[in-house]
Amino acid sequence: MHSVLVQEKDFSVQDEWIACRERLEGKAGAVVSFIGLVRERSDTGNVSSLYLEHYPGMTEASIERIVVKAQQRWSLLDVVVIHRIGELQPEDQIVLVIVASAHRADAFAACEFVMDLLKTEAVFWKKETGDEESVWIESTLDDVSRSREWQE
Amino acid sequence: MTASSMTVQVKFFASLRETLGTSQISLTVPFESTVDMLLEKIQETYGRDNPLIDIRNVRVAVNQQIVEFDEAIRQDDEIAIFPPITGG
Could you list the beta-strand ranges (E) of B13-55. 24-30
Q: Give me the number of domains chain A comprises.
A: 1
Domain with A13 in it: what CATH number? 3.90.1170.40
Q: Which of chain A's residues have a Cβ under 8 Å away from the Cβ of B20?
A: none
Q: How far is B83 from chain A (nearest CA, A)?
A: 8
Tell whether B15 is within 8 A of chain A (Cβ): yes
> Across the interface, which of B11, B61, B83 has its CB nearest the CB of A125?
B83
pLDDT tens digits along B36-56: 999 988 888 887 666 556 666
With b for 16 or more beta-carbon neighbours within 10 A and e for fewer, the B5-35 pattern comes to ebebebbbbbbbbbebeeeeeebebeeebbb
CB-based contact A122 B88, cutoff 8 Å = yes
pTM higher than the cut 0.80: yes
- Domain ranges in chain B are 5-82
- pLDDT at position A33, please? 98
Per residue in A60-98, pLDDT tens? 999 999 999 999 999 999 999 999 999 999 999 999 999
A152 lies in a domain?
Answer: no
Tell whether B88 is within 8 A of chain A (Cβ): yes
Domain that holds residue A7: 2-146
- ipTM rounded to 2 decimals: 0.88
Chain A residues whose CB is inside 8 A of the B86 CB are 124-126, 136-139
Query: Would the CB atoms of A123 and B15 count as touching at under 8 Å?
Result: no
CB B22 within 8 A of CB B37: no
Name the fold adopted by B5-82: Ubiquitin-like (UB roll) (3.10.20)
In a domain, A151, yes or no: no
